[in-house]
Structure 1
């Protein structure tokens, strides 16, 4: 038996035609949220305030800050975590259905997670120290047993612990930052070699060690949702998805508003207690928003199914979601080529609205490339690599 075939009944990667529509739509939309959440971190050259946003905002930049803080900031990564956990749940269910024993599935999830750590480390050190791939790889390694074999109660308790943790700990995210000209110091370093050395430290501290604490609850909740096939069979769960989408997104906006007003400098000099409360509410709203977005994409899948399938735009979104790892890495390549001091340096003194346009434009280009790749029958290169590393060369060609 080879390393890539942990069981004779291992079916390998899921064929593209067998993938559920709603999770892929959600992954494609999630990438826009992640692009917007990340791109302002590349700004350098003027004082940086809450959540990495510049302190001197006015006019259009204030509007962008308000929208991003209520709809994007802290909402994209819980959605990512939910979908990651959901994917592990799908993997476990499919292999269980063909008789693959749970210990072998757990081993497979850990092997996949270990390779994600390697890919995430390369991404974090070479390009973007806020990498999330290694973070989720670490969670896969540490949580594999519970995600595959844990009880529903264990998953829900872990999710509640995760929500409680971020609500308490992220209260400090609303406190003023030390004087700095860049949220990540590597962005303002002109020497590529020196910037690389600093990025290695940033990735280890921020991307790999710190970020898992903020999203492990979402991963557990995603695995729980997968067992109920909430996004695989959204029509069956439509009333629940409607309630979750409406309440989740409304909570994201309302709970994120206090900190959004602070970030946009529309609420200046709030008392310390209100700052801490705003940080907690913002983090809690992030989980609510991530869940709400997932439910909204489930409802979109229902609508598309009733219309006979995805149209031109939603098909591109689906194609992007099927190549989410490659598309995520492509965003970093584009941002790094344009914004840090060690490349073109366009992030120096950039306005928030300008970087937001860069994020949207980058996502649109990647969306078009993903759609063209799908029509040509090409998979994402990062997906091919991860599947070969996880399943071995005999499993990789199954167009997962």
Structure 2
């Protein structure tokens, strides 16, 4: 039990919120860069759903786009965000502990935050996008908050078990689908698209929770060592992880890329399920490799990030706001009640990159105006109370 004087009158959360000037560069830079991967992957997905055709029927540029996305983006950026979520939860736990807060108070805080993230996710699904991740993060915060108190050995053991469970789950559902999961047909009309999103949501929560737990736990482990807050102290580990993780992800994605681009067509259900499982699992390594690479970049540019890195970090600081804004863009561009674009996969990837570029500019303008993201402000206010509304995000 901590001494009484450390818990009698801890500072308010709002008073001790971390100022933007003191934030570590690497986590924010990682979120900003990975939003590009997320944007390209989602726009690519909507392009496929809109055309309703298989990639094997597309031209050379579309095969190149699909292959590139499979190798470098699909299920590669998402694990890094999941790891960063676990990293962020561990940061909150550490900071509140340093302020004198005891575990039951912090646990209640994180679970309340998780409940509000589930609420955000429910609204996101109802209005915009069936592939919401916010509710999954909120569910992890509710159910697995106790992982913050596990020993390193128990934490890594739990992560290994989660990896095995994810592998078995992905193989089983892909095998049941004949080895090549099919995208849902795009419905028409506001009510039709709403029905699709709501009907898919329970399945997506199960699927994405299974795929999120492993990197979430690894993120907690990484935060204990402050790998991204103090990357200069962990250069040997980062230098090994970056090339190894990215190489494993690319090599592990080759079978799936061959299938998706139509190069490999005679595929049994078992082989297709194996390729999908390998793609999913090696994507975890890719996400961690990307995070390590960005950590190395952050060390290289520390103290002089330059305008591009500054803008990317500004985007990362407002990642929740711009993740949601991306979904607004997809609704405007691809929904049947919006512009209802029907474009090739190559054009879809280009549209995703263009949307991301616009968000970079908007984030930089907000930084210059000293404006926090409205979604971040709302989540903080709901989590901590109205006194935290003007504090910086953790």
Structure 1 length as normaliser, TM-score?
0.90
Check the 8 A contact 2:110/2:145 in 1, yes or no. yes
Check the 8 A contact 1:82/1:220 in 2, yes or no. yes
Partner of 2:378: 385
Structure 1 unaligned spans of 5+ = 1-6
Distance 1:55-1:166 versus aligned 2 partners, 3 A rule:
farther
Residue of structure 1 aligned with 2:322, choices 323, 327, 332: 327
Partner of 1:315: 310
Distance 1:359-1:173 versus aligned 2 partners, 3 A rule:
farther
Shift of 1:225: 0.5
Shift of 1:380: 0.4
Partner of 1:4: none
Partner of 1:394: 387
3-state secondary structure, aligned to 1:394: helix
Residue of structure 2 aligned with 1:341, choices 336, 339, 354: 336
Partner of 1:296: 293
Partner of 2:169: 169
Distance 1:45-1:85 versus aligned 2 partners, 3 A rule:
closer
Shift of 1:193: 2.5
Aligned length: 381
CA distance in 2, matches of 1:176, 1:62: 26
Partner of 1:200: 198
Partner of 2:146: 145
Shift of 1:74: 1.0
Q: Does 1:17 align with 2:12?
A: no
Within-5 A mapping of 1:14-53: 14-43=18-47, 44-47=49-52
Check the 8 A contact 1:61/1:353 in 2, yes or no. yes
Partner of 1:134: 135
After TM superposition, the structure 1 stretch with the greater mean CA deviation from structure 2, 277-286 or 216-225, is 277-286
Distance 1:397-1:154 versus aligned 2 partners, 3 A rule:
same
CA distance in 2, matches of 1:173, 1:341: 29
Partner of 1:155: 155
Check the 8 A contact 1:125/1:203 in 2, yes or no. no
Partner of 1:100: 101
Shift of 1:173: 6.6
Structure 2 length as normaliser, TM-score?
0.92
Shift of 1:169: 2.3
CA distance in 2, matches of 1:386, 1:21: 22
Partner of 2:124: 123
CA distance in 2, matches of 1:77, 1:352: 20
Check the 8 A contact 2:56/2:63 in 1, yes or no. no
Partner of 1:252: 249
Check the 8 A contact 1:162/1:218 in 2, yes or no. no
CA shift digits 1:5-24 (9 cap, x unpaired): xx844433322122111000
Q: Does 1:359 align with 2:349?
A: no
CA distance in 2, matches of 1:265, 1:131: 29
Shift of 1:102: 1.2
Check the 8 A contact 1:316/1:370 in 2, yes or no. yes
Check the 8 A contact 2:169/2:210 in 1, yes or no. no
CA distance in 2, matches of 1:80, 1:391: 23
Distance 1:176-1:258 versus aligned 2 partners, 3 A rule:
farther
CA distance in 2, matches of 1:197, 1:217: 31
Check the 8 A contact 2:321/2:374 in 1, yes or no. yes
CA distance in 2, matches of 1:282, 1:38: 17
CA distance in 2, matches of 1:174, 1:29: 30
Partner of 1:238: 235
3-state secondary structure, aligned to 2:234: helix
After superposition, the CA RMSD in angstroms is 2.0
CA distance in 1, matches of 2:111, 2:89: 11
Check the 8 A contact 1:89/1:227 in 2, yes or no. yes
After TM superposition, the structure 1 stretch with the greater mean CA deviation from structure 2, 269-278 or 89-98, is 269-278
Distance 1:174-1:209 versus aligned 2 partners, 3 A rule:
closer
CA distance in 2, matches of 1:10, 1:117: 25
Within-5 A mapping of 1:201-216: 201-206=199-204, 208-216=205-213
CA distance in 2, matches of 1:46, 1:197: 20
CA distance in 2, matches of 1:329, 1:98: 32
Structure 2 unaligned spans of 5+ = 1-8
Shift of 1:175: 5.4
Shift of 1:55: 4.3
3-state secondary structure, aligned to 2:13: coil
